[in-house]
């Protein structure tokens, strides 16, 4: 049976148009909803133009260490998604090597936590 799901993202901006709060909600059952987040990264591949629209927002509360962790977890998830979608082991290994290198670089600056892992 076909069904539709919605994801809504509400962004509250300050007078300088900088995000102060980001809240996402979904009508999909079984998913935590109405949660405040510090950042959102959305990538949409256009079917006709074959270009990617990117929306990257973060609140002014987000610390550099948190951005490092978010990027690490996001890129790590992208590598896994790429492998699952394409089955291309060779490029997945290259991607994973970069993720490990990135993780080591930011780990040397401050520890990465597992709390943000997708």
Residue showing tokens 């996402």:
24
Name 40's Cβ contacts closer than 8 Å, sequence gap at least 6: 9, 22, 24, 55, 56, 57, 58
Q: Let me know if residue 97 belongs to a domain.
A: yes
26 falls in which pLDDT band (50, 70, 90)?
confident
Number of domains in the chain: 2
Query: Do 25 and 44 belong together in one domain?
Result: yes
CA R_g for the chain: 17
Query: Do 16 and 49 belong together in one domain?
Result: yes
> How far apart, in whole angstroms, are the C-alpha atoms of residue 68 and residue 111?
10
* Tens of pLDDT, residues 37-85: 999 999 999 999 999 999 999 999 999 999 999 999 999 999 999 999 9
Query: Do 52 and 78 belong together in one domain?
Result: no
29 falls in which pLDDT band (50, 70, 90)?
confident
Query: Contact, 100 vs 57, CB < 8 A?
Result: no
pLDDT attached to residue 118: 41
Domain, as residue range, for 90: 63-109
Coil, strand or helix at 16: coil
Q: Are strands 52-58 and 19-26 parallel, antiparallel or unpaired?
A: unpaired
pTM for this prediction: 0.80
Q: Let me know if residue 84 belongs to a domain.
A: yes
- Helix H or strand E segment including 8: strand 7-13
Of the candidates 70, 8, 74, the one whose C-alpha atom is nearest the C-alpha of residue 35 is 8
């Amino acid at each position: 049976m076909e069904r539709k799901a919605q994801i809504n993202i509400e962004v509250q901006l300050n007078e300088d148009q900088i995000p102060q709060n980001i809240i996402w909600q979904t009508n999909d059952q079984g998913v935590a909803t109405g949660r405040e987040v510090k950042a959102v990264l959305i990538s949409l591949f256009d079917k006709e133009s074959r270009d990617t629209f990117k929306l990257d927002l973060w609140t002014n509360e987000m610390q550099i260490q948190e951005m490092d962790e978010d990027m690490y977890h996001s890129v790590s998830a992208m590598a896994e998604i790429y492998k699952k979608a394409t089955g291309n082991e060779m490029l997945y290994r290259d991607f994973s090597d970069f993720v490990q290198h990135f993780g080591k670089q930011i780990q040397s600056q401050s520890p990465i936590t597992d709390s943000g892992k997708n």
